[in-house]
Structure 1
Amino acid sequence: MGPFYILLHLMSFLAPAAFLALLLPLAARATLRATAGRSRLMLQAGLVFLAGAGVLGAGLWWFGADGRMATYGALVLVAAAVQWLTLRAWR
């Protein structure tokens, strides 16, 4: 497998984390006007992406294959938790 296909596989592997990293901060900004402005959009997206990539990597390690529904469920829960923490929503 050449470097192009390795990069293509890596991008496909991280696509769900990237999708959530863009979706969650934008949705929070659209729905939670009072709290969403406190934190920068790129910081939120970066933190959600890093946490999501970690969950996908852990799911690949734990199950030995990517694309398991348990991994995607954990991805959604962790991404939502990170978004909640970056907005300081417990206040």
Structure 2
Amino acid sequence: MSFFDGLLHLFNFFLPALGMAALLAPALVWGQGAGSRRGARFKSLLLGWLALSALGALVLLAGLWWHGRDGRMATYAALVVALGSAVAYWRSR
């Protein structure tokens, strides 16, 4: 496997976490109020995406460790539960 192929494989491993974080990050800033500045909303959106991506990456790495290989549906289910729970907790505060 070449270096580029290794990077592509690594990117594809983390892509579900990045995608789920991108879909759920707007839920973190939605309803902040019309008075909020656009720059502040963008910053909180970016920070929320980064935090959710990091959590998702940890879940995927834990699934790889637990199952011994990637791509298991139980890992993806744990990813959805973990990120959904994180958004629900974050919104309740």
Fold match by TM threshold 0.5: yes
What is the CA–CA distance in structure 2 between the aligned matches of 1:13 and 1:25, rounded to whole Å? 20
Provide structure 1 residue ranges, at least 5 long, that are not aligned to the other structure.
none
2-structure distance, mates of 1:29, 1:63: 31
Distance, in Å, in 2 between the alignment partners of 1:85 and 1:45 is 15
Give the residue type in structure 2 aligned to 1:10: L
In the alignment, is the contact (CA less than 8 A) between 2:21 and 2:49 conserved in 1?
yes
Structure 2 residue corresponding to 1:83, chosen from 65, 80, 87: 87
Give, as a single letter, the amino acid of the residue that structure 2 aligns with 1:12.
Answer: N
**Cα deviations by residue, 1:50-73 (Å, 9 ceiling, x for unpaired):** 010000001011101111111000
Q: Which runs of 4+ in 1 moved over 3 A?
A: none
Q: 1:33 is matched by which residue type in structure 2?
A: G
1:8 deviation in Å? 0.2
Aligned residue pairs: how many? 86
- For structure 2, the residue ranges without an aligned partner over 5 or more in a row are none
Paired position in structure 1 for 2:48: 44
How far the C-alpha of 1:86 sits from its partner, in A, is 3.0
TM alignment of 1:1-91, pairs within 5 A = 1-26=1-26, 28=27, 32-34=30-32, 40-87=44-91, 89=92, 91=93
With the length of structure 1 as denominator, give the TM-score of the two structures: 0.82
Q: Displacement, 1:29?
A: 5.7
3-state secondary structure, aligned to 2:70: coil
Percent of aligned positions with the same letter in both sequences?
43
